[in-house]
Amino acid sequence: MKIVKFILSFIFALMFINAGLNKFFHYSPMPKMSDEQIKIFAAFSEIGWLLPLVGIVEIVGGVLFIFQKTKALGAIILLPVMVGIVIHNIYRDPNQMGIITAVVMFLINIWAIIDDREKYKALVR
């Protein structure tokens, strides 16, 4: 079971590191977007600091998520980004595969938080 946890954590972390690095280096092609998605992306681009901030959060959270000692911190850092991804995929990009991927990744994030719940007890006393 320990190896399964590590593999899931590693793949989850690599997906976020990849997404964060893509925000800086633009090496992955953009899928065809609807008119509404183009407006949303233009609004995000107009706020010059938003996409780099999300990219940094994804990279830092992904790197922290790889290591068992810092996985709890990485899971908490990535949670708001993951909520945004799920909401976007449900309301703005209702692609079945995108929704399934987002929900599975969200469940992995929630699982990691529940698995490390002992580390959060000091925060909620």
pLDDT of 25-81, one tens digit each?
A: 989 888 787 788 788 888 888 998 988 999 999 999 999 999 999 999 999 999 999
- Residue 21: C-alpha distances to residues 5, 12, 55 (Å): 24, 14, 7
Residue extents of the structural domains in the chain: 1-26+33-120
d(CA 84, CA 31) in angstroms, rounded, equals 19
In this prediction, residue 12 has a pLDDT band, given cuts at 50, 70 and 90, of: very high
In this prediction, residue 97 has a pLDDT band, given cuts at 50, 70 and 90, of: confident
Give the model's pLDDT for residue 36: 80
- Cβ–Cβ under 8 Å, residues 17 and 62: yes
